[in-house]
Amino acid sequence: MMESYDTLWDNCLTIIKKNVNEKSFNTWFKPIKPIRHENSVLTIQVPNKFFYDWIEEHYLNILKKSIYQVLGPSGQLEYKIVVDTPTKVHEPKPFDRKSIKNPFVIPGLKKSKIPSNLNPKYTFKNYVEGDCNRLGKSAGDAISKKPGGTAFNPLVIYGGVGLGKTHLAHAIGNSIKEYDPEHNVLYLTTESFTTQIVNAIKNNTMDDLLNYFGLIDTLIVDDIQFLAGREKTQDIFFNIFNQLQQTNKQIILTSDKPPKDLEGVKERLINRFKWGLTADVKPPDFETRLAILEEKIGEDFAKIPKKVTEYICFNIKSNIRELEGVLISLMAHASLNDKEIDLELAKEVIQKFITQENKTISVQNIAKLVADHFEVPMEKLNSKTRKRNVVIARQLSMFLAKNYTKSSLKTIGHNFGGKDHSTVIYSIKTVQNLIDTDSLFKDTVAELEKKVEMSLLH
Ligand code: ADP
Ligand code: MG
């Protein structure tokens, strides 16, 4: 007697459920529908190609096992993919753009077009070209005219802080839109990308998210160095990357280091990053710095004595954001105090800028930064769990709290579920030891320190 495919699949699910955790089960197995059982072949329907890849990669063994137990040795599993890439057609269903929930917009806003998140202020027009950025700028020009159709895919722009990576990435996106307003560009920071993925897993909306990525023609992800250590995000990114690449969609990434030096990022992902063009942006030379200042202040530039702008450009070399900052505060000082902008004032302002008083950060904010980085819930840091990543996150939070706050060891301990001060000392020592012996860990700490420092600047 033939059992119905529903029952058969239910029996498989019972076995699978015992072998995977609840979240994975809900994310990857709940959305599957059995649709046929013929000649020992059970056919299941998965929402998209990505699901199929993921399941095959992560759950093949348990699937085989359950099929074997339920259907016997001759049992086989076949997939039917609902929404597929155009190249492989399994009775594809056309995209219904309206039915796909867009996780990146607040509900109630316009839904028909994908909002790009592009900043209209960052364009090629106001991007000063110099030797320092020529490669990236030219590649960007070429991409704008033919996104996905050049050898520069992905385009990876890398370089130090404040050297114009984000500006350039937006400029390319804006320029693509200018040539073709229908082209769907999506700009994401690595942070928001990660958040979307974490939420999709939590809320069981992975297929919505993935379908959404299927609508994008050009994906820009900023600051991919923050992918470090986030394995789940990396896995999903890897699959999204492949899907986009296979369908000739454009990918643009920025990073603070060249792909090969991205520690904590899986090799297979790094290899993908190296497929296209890797272009660095370097600190601009003196002439370019002057030109950038001129671009930034427009007509007021002429009113500022040459000596002053040159003085600024001589002194601030390695960060364009700082260059702008000095100038803006110089102009503010001058107008507030009704002073002339002269060399004297410029020196004063630069001095202040460099020794600017540090703002403070709370122990809780540090804990939040670290918890987010390790993708553990904040509350876990206060719990008694001995899970390794939680323990490390807690110890690291204490270590950073000691270095970046004025809190006493007792107060710090209090912030993590009432640990006493000797536990805090022990944690700090442990972290220091790890820094000294494990270079990957050292980089993680450096990155977190950078994040703490960034939050001190805002
Ligand atoms: P990064 O992403 O590399 O940290 P940003 O793109 O945020 O740097 O740039 C910092 C600031 O410097 C921005 O205000 C940007 O407009 C400006 N900037 C950087 N490079 C240039 C350039 N070549 N021409 C004009 N402005 C620039
Ligand atoms: Mg940036």
Instruction: Write the pLDDT tens digit of every residue in 63-95.
Output: 988 999 999 888 888 888 775 433 333 333 333
Structure tokens at 116: 């790009």
Stated pTM of the model: 0.61
Mean pLDDT, residues 215-226 taken together: 96
pLDDT of 106 higher than 50? no
Q: Give the model's pLDDT for residue 224.
A: 97
pLDDT bin (cut points 50, 70, 90) of residue 111 is very low
From the CA of 317, how far away is ligand 2's center (Å)? 17
The residue whose CB lies within 8 Å of the most ligand 1 atoms, and thus the one to mutate among 123, 167, 281, 454, is 167
Which long-range contacts (C-beta less than 8 Å, at least 24 apart) are formed by 60-67? 62/15, 62/16, 62/19, 62/20, 63/12, 63/16, 65/15, 65/19, 66/11, 66/12, 66/13, 66/15, 66/16, 67/12, 67/42
The amino acid sitting at 78 is E
**Which residue puts its alpha carbon closest to atom 21 of ligand 1?**
164
Pick the more confident residue, 320 or 81: 320
What's the gap between Cα 118 and its chain centre? 15
101 compared with 253, residue with greater pLDDT: 253
| Atom 19 of ligand 1, residue of closest alpha carbon | 164
Spacing, Cα 163 to ligand 2 middle (Å)? 8
- Domain 363-455 classification at class level: mainly alpha
The answer to whether 229 and 374 have CB atoms below 8 angstroms apart is yes
pLDDT over 90, % of the chain: 50
Which ligand 1 atom minimizes the distance to the CA of 254?
2
Greater model confidence, 264 or 80? 264
How would residue 104 be classed by pLDDT, with cut points 50, 70 and 90?
very low
* Residues 431/399, Cβ–Cβ less than 8 Å: yes
Judged against a pLDDT cut of 70, whether residue 107 lies above it is answered with no
Q: Looking at the domain covering 111-281, what would its CATH class be? A: alpha beta
Tell whether the torsion through CA atoms of 423, 454, 163 and 286 is positive or negative.
negative
7: pLDDT strictly greater than 80: yes
Of all ligands present, the nearest one to the C-alpha of 283 is 1
In terms of pLDDT, which residue wins out, 406 or 308?
A: 308
What pLDDT, on the 0 to 100 scale, is given for residue 403? 87
Residue nearest atom 6 of ligand 1, based on CA coordinates: 164
The rounded Å distance from CA 262 to ligand 2 centre is 16
What does the pLDDT read at residue 92?
Answer: 32
What amino acid occupies position 450?
Answer: K
User: Given the structure tokens 């503010």, which residue do they identify?
Assistant: 332
- The answer to which of 27-41, 214-228, 283-297 has the lowest mean pLDDT is 27-41
Report pLDDT for 342.
Answer: 87
In 337-405, where does DSSP find H-type helix?
Answer: 343-354, 363-374, 388-404
CATH architecture label of 286-350:
Orthogonal Bundle (1.10)
Regarding predicted confidence, which is higher, 106 or 267?
A: 267
Q: Which ligand is nearest to the CA of 294?
A: 1
Confidence of residue 298 (pLDDT cuts 50, 70, 90): confident
* Tokens describing residue 201: 């897993």
| Mean pLDDT along residues 347-353 | 78
211 pLDDT exceeds 50? yes
How many whole angstroms from 127 Cα to the centroid of ligand 1? 8
- Domain borders along the chain are 5-81, 111-281, 286-350, 363-455
Q: pLDDT band for position 127 (50/70/90)?
A: very high
Is residue 103 very low, low, confident or very high in pLDDT (cuts 50, 70, 90)?
Answer: very low
**137-188, pLDDT tens digit by residue?**
999 999 999 999 988 999 999 999 999 999 999 999 999 999 999 999 999 9
The torsion of the CA quartet 403, 409, 411, 415, rounded to 10 degrees, works out to 70
Q: Which residue blocks in 20-162 are alpha helix, DSSP H?
A: 22-24, 49-71, 134-145
The residue ranges of DSSP E strands in 265-423, in sequence order, are 277-281
Ligand 1: residues with CB < 6 A are: 126-128, 133, 161-167, 292, 295, 320-321, 324
The stretch 93-113 carries a mean pLDDT of 40
What's the pLDDT at 154? 95
| Residue in 269, 247, 282 with CA at minimum distance from that of residue 158 | 282
Q: What does the pLDDT average to over 318-347? A: 84
CATH T-level fold of 5-81: GMP Synthetase; Chain A, domain 3 (3.30.300)
d(CA 148, CA 327): 39
Distance CA 130, CA 287 (A): 9
Ligand located closest to 129 CA: 1
CA distances from 67 to 58, 174, 419 (A): 16, 50, 49
Ligand 1 atom nearest 126 alpha carbon: 25
